[in-house]
Structure 1
Amino acid sequence: METSVGAGLGRRDRKKQQTRSALIVAALRLSLERGLSDTTVEDISAAVDVSSRTFFNYFASRDDALVGDYFANSEDIRARLEAADPGLPLLSALRLAVTPSIERMHEERELWFLRMQVICKNPSLMPRLLARNAAAEEAITAAVAARTGSAADSGFPALVTAVAGAAYRTAVTRWALCAGARQLDELVDEAFAAVATGLTQPAHL
């Protein structure tokens, strides 16, 4: 299993990206096989046949190699939200804006399936994952504020972003734990639709 490697990169950059990807996969696999507490930077580095020093060229810690980023392309998300039809409901515009993230995660689905298994078994990793997305959520909040004309002291944009982010994370977790038996975009649509109803309990529950 490999993460996607960007096209158009020079040989040196491709090699660096391949090493980074290999370290991520090794960290995740070893954490599942041995448990998080028994997986060290030295173990991960040895599995890829690089030094621990090389590991720290890519990651600040073991946990940084384990967690990913739901919204790595935050500027793309913000641009899509800002460009969305003003007449589109806010949640629909947000759903449209996260399309690039859904596509990227689908391309890296095997990696994300593995990553979410590790995170679900080790909830202590979730705060780090959320922290990795803090900058992206700040950018999205600013775009929501601009779109809605919210006052500077309004909590509405941050609340909308937080709720949408939670809906997205729920969909990703479900997608990963069922190993793609359902499509990620379908699960995201379902989660956003539930939020749009005001989280009214479905009749069949």
Structure 2
Amino acid sequence: MTAHPAAQTVGLRDRKKQQTRDALATAALHLVAERGLENVTVEEISAAADVSSRTFFNYFPCKDDALVADHSVDSARFLTRLAQVPPEVPALAAVRSALGEMIDRMQADRERWLLRMVVIERNPALLPRLVAAGVETERTMTELVADRVGVPPDHHFPALLAAVTGAAFRSAMLRWAAGDGARSLSDLVDEAFETLAAGLPDPQPAP
């Protein structure tokens, strides 16, 4: 069956928009990695991506968003996937399952993600934006977990699970970046979640 021309046009338009968004994000990351956050302007980012400053603002409200926002980390999609995990799956395993698609997309975009981690480490002023986004996701996640395990949202378990799994994921990302992506992000996340599932025992000393 032949695709309808209108559908092909929409698909092409969406791909071009994503290419422009990716070009702006990549340019921003490279420039800030080289010069620092305060020494790069929107105009310079736009020029490096070969678009106008007006086009930049069609994709990002400010310079910081071009550095930290990424389509591969779609919190709404993660939360939808968490809600779709069968109810018989334990909550910790359900969170790990829901993270799978996001992790795969990050791994596929490995070079840009590793560069983003370097930029964030060198420019702590970006952290409040990341924290604010994480707080909203954690709030909704707490509600979903509460519904899954059948307790009120103010019960200690849902909020604790949301907090510790978020910390486990961030820890795995930091290890991934520190190792320059040599190990799979998925393996590192699995390792962190398995440690949580085991009750966070003390590690065995290396022989």
- State the TM-score bracket (shorter-chain normalisation): 0.7 to 0.9
Question: Match of 2:116?
Answer: 115
Range that drifts further, 168-177 or 64-73: 64-73
Distance change in 2, residues 1:170/1:77 (3 Å): same
For residues 161-188 of structure 1, the C-alpha deviation after alignment (integer angstroms, 9 at most, x for no partner) is 1211111011112112322210111100
Give me the whole-angstrom Cα distance separating, in 2, the residues matched to 1:70 and 1:19. 13
Tell me the equivalent position of 2:18.
Answer: 17
Larger radius of gyration: 2
Whether the 8 Å CA contact 1:102–1:185 is kept in 2: the answer is yes
Deviating runs (4+, > 6 A) in structure 1?
A: none
Alignment map for 1:148-187 (pairs within 5 Å) = 148-187=149-188
Q: Give the 5 Å matches for 1:68-147.
A: 68-69=69-70, 72-147=73-148
> Counterpart of 1:34?
35
Q: In terms of mean alpha carbon deviation, does 143-152 or 78-87 score higher?
A: 78-87
Moved more, 20-29 or 144-153: 144-153
CA-to-aligned-CA distance 1:38-93 (integer Å, 9 cap, x gap): 11111111111222222111111111100035973334433443343444332112
- Deviation per CA, 1:118-169, whole angstroms, max 9, x where unpaired? 1111222122123234443333222101111111432431221121111101
The TM-score normalised by the length of structure 1 is 0.85
Alpha carbons 2:92, 2:197 under 8 Å: kept: yes
> In 2 relative to 1, CA 81–14 (structure 1 residues): closer, same or farther, beyond 3 Å?
closer
For residues 88 and 11 of structure 1, the distance between their equivalents in structure 2, rounded to whole angstroms, comes to 39
- Calculate the aligned-residue CA RMSD, in Å: 2.3
Letter of the 1:18 partner, please give it.
Q
Say if 1:140 and 1:9 are closer, same or farther in 2 by CA, change over 3 A: farther
Give the structure-2-normalised TM-score. 0.85
Greater RCO (Cα-Cα under 8 Å, separation 6 or more): 1
Equivalent-residue separation in structure 1 for 2:13 and 2:71 (angstroms): 27
Which residue identity does 1:142 align to in structure 2?
E
Structure 1 CA distance for aligned equivalents of residues 9 and 101 of structure 2: 19
The Cα offsets for residues 1-34 of structure 1, whole Å up to 9 and x where unpaired, read as xxxxxx9953332222211111100000001111
Give structure 2 stretches of 5+ with no counterpart. 1-7
In the alignment, structure 1 segments of 5+ residues that lack a partner are: 1-6
Residue identity matched to 1:182: R
Amino-acid identity (%): 53
Matches within 5 A, 1:47-62: 47-62=48-63
